[in-house]
Structure 1
Amino acid sequence: MRSQVLYRQINKDYAYWTEKRRIGQERGGNTAGLLTCREDGQVKRNILIDAGLGTLEGLADFCDDSFWDQPLAVFITHGHIDHHAELMVLSEIYCTRRGKNIYDVRPPLPVFCTPETQRHLFNVHRWGYTGGRTLRHNELTPGVPVSIDIFTVTPLAVDHFEGAVIFAIEFGRQKSHKIVIGWDLKTLPLAPQAVERLRRPSLALLEATTWTAMAEETGHSSIEDLVVSGFLDQLHLQFDPAQEQYGAHLVHYSGWEDPWGMLTDVQLKEKFDCAFPALAGVVRVAERGHQWHFHG
């Protein structure tokens, strides 16, 4: 049995695209990712990370209609509305799909998050958890791994918001591959035990809301935070696509608060390479819709 895992960055930026158009660049919606496991060419599992603004549009852009017939679970990083705004609609679309029998009814869509995040989700999507029965809560505890098909997902607490977590997702023979879902962050570096769980990733998606360090003002980490704190060095990043090592890719960028304003992706990468040449080979700016391949 041959297995293949694909990770696609459905959307990669902070907030919705309308605010981005003033620099002449269509940039998609709020950061979200899709992890897909295929066995012998058939989709065994999809995992969606966050379901905020623009997620449905991203799924429409990059997935065909068969996506809605495939097994799906959703992992939510935290309770801010921009990371789960479209969860209810997504669950309704998913659960109203029918099989060959018109009376087939799907069970609720499983949603994995911490108890604190669940309280925020319930306040917004109450109908899905009660009368609509399209959502089912699965509790996450920071530091405690959960298994779903071939994936082992470990949530790690961060201080961006109450109950906020990032994820280390491991899979493959002897957990040979690891994807780090590193948004939204605030204070860096992280605790040593968290860094150890994240170290040597096959791919790391890391928040870089601004260039300038201003976490206390924005509640978000910056490119300067990632570098100056030593966090990027601690991860032991490698870029070697032939070995399915893809380094780090910056996501959740806005640049609104930076003195020079928002940069295009090309400008951001050029500025990074100039400022931090030692990291230029292992850090890139994520592209909306880009897909990375891994073999089991």
Structure 2
Amino acid sequence: MKLYTVNAGYFKLDGGAMFGVVPKSIWQKTNPADENNLCSWAMRCLLIQDGDQLILVDNGIGDKQDEKFLKHYYMHGDDTLEKSLARHGFAKDDITDVFLTHLHFDHCGGSIERNSEGSLVPAFKNATFWSNKAHWDWAVNPNAREKASFLKENILPIQESGKLKFIDNTDGIKFTDTIKVRFAYGHTDSMMLPHITFKGKTILYMADMLPSIGHIPLPYVMAYDMFPMKTLDEKRKFLEEAVKNEYILYLEHDPVNECCTLQETEKGIRVKDTFKLEDI
């Protein structure tokens, strides 16, 4: 098995929304905001080469949205999904499986592209797309609060292509011999977190359970989370498990840090070490 960091670019979101009830005077120490109160965030996907499978976990916003949409999110930096794949010697057509942690636009928007005729088609022509039925149903019938994050042009064409498959909603179910699927329900219903065994270690892809090291303290819960009290409980359990078992956490949105480990301190669980995936 080989693992590769794949950066799909950077975007900006409101700092207050990203840190919920935590005051700006505190959160800006780790995630400084610009003059519009926006913080920069990564869209850090993960590429897993496992036997004959080349699995891409999440794929960023993509580039099919119109200028009006994209200007709200201030896309910046030179990284793109295509450039990052090429850096490792791969192209989109090499991907066999696209694992979608959840269907918010910044995690699945790259799944679909517009072809030369303007039609919406899968960007990964040879891949199977993986979600789970509970989350899929949640996304295609969105509540009013979350509707802006579930864009039908990102989601419905996957099913229409015939390339969509569902993972059973069983926590700890095997996706491959080296990848288990963990479920979380606070950020959105039935978000999937890959739990990967690699070189004798466990790597947990955190998706929006833990966007950055700035979110490690328990009260640092995003206002975007549908069920913040559920997130609080889930985060506590995941972090305690990570400390006990010395997990490596892979951070999808942290603009600086790819991976971290945790330790127990007098103030609670905090970051221990940060490092790049390639250093494992």
TM-score bracket for this pair, using the shorter chain length: 0.5 to 0.7
Partner of 1:252: 253
How far the C-alpha of 1:180 sits from its partner, in A, is: 0.5
- Cα distance in 2, alignment partners of residues 238 and 9 from structure 1: 26
How far the C-alpha of 1:77 sits from its partner, in A, is: 1.5
Distance 1:165 1:94, change over 3 A: closer
Q: Secondary structure at the match of 2:82?
A: helix
Matched-pair contact (CA < 8 Å) for 1:53–1:82: yes
Partner of 1:45: 53
Match of 2:103 among 79, 96, 101: 79
Match of 1:207 among 199, 206, 211: 211
Distance 1:129 1:237, change over 3 A: same
How far the C-alpha of 1:28 sits from its partner, in A, is: 6.6
- Cα distance in 1, alignment partners of residues 250 and 198 from structure 2: 20
Q: What is the RMSD of the two structures over their aligned residues, measured on CA atoms?
A: 4.7
Greater C-alpha radius of gyration: 1
Partner of 1:139: 167
Partner of 1:234: 241
| 1:12-31 equivalence runs, <5 A | 16-17=11-12, 22=34, 29-31=42-44
| 1:260-275 equivalence runs, <5 A | 265=256
Matched-pair contact (CA < 8 Å) for 1:6–1:293: no
TM-score (norm 1): 0.54
- Cα distance in 1, alignment partners of residues 13 and 215 from structure 2: 18
Matched-pair contact (CA < 8 Å) for 2:3–2:46: no
Partner of 2:19: none
Distance 1:127 1:183, change over 3 A: closer
> Is 1:292 the equivalent of 2:278?
yes
The one-letter code matched in structure 2 to 1:61 is K
The one-letter code matched in structure 2 to 1:234 is E
Distance 1:147 1:89, change over 3 A: same
- Cα distance in 2, alignment partners of residues 171 and 123 from structure 1: 35
- Cα distance in 2, alignment partners of residues 114 and 181 from structure 1: 17
TM-score (norm 2): 0.57
Match of 2:178 among 146, 151, 157: 151
Partner of 1:7: 4
> Is 1:283 the equivalent of 2:255?
no
Residues 179-216 of structure 1 show CA distances to partners (whole Å, capped at 9, x for unaligned) of 2012222xxxxxxxxxxxxxxxxxxxx43365772537
Partner of 1:60: 82
How far the C-alpha of 1:111 sits from its partner, in A, is: 1.5
- Cα distance in 2, alignment partners of residues 275 and 54 from structure 1: 42
How many equivalent residue pairs? 219
- Cα distance in 2, alignment partners of residues 155 and 12 from structure 1: 26
Partner of 2:190: 163
Q: Secondary structure at the match of 2:43?
A: coil
Q: Secondary structure at the match of 1:235?
A: helix
Matched-pair contact (CA < 8 Å) for 1:28–1:54: no
- Cα distance in 2, alignment partners of residues 18 and 182 from structure 1: 18
Distance 1:113 1:27, change over 3 A: same
> Is 1:112 the equivalent of 2:119?
no
Distance 1:117 1:55, change over 3 A: farther
Unaligned runs of 5+ in 2: 15-31, 65-78, 115-120, 141-150
Unaligned runs of 5+ in 1: 96-105, 186-205, 240-245, 254-263
Match of 1:32 among 30, 45, 48: 45
How far the C-alpha of 1:265 sits from its partner, in A, is: 4.3
Q: Secondary structure at the match of 2:128?
A: strand
Distance 1:92 1:135, change over 3 A: same
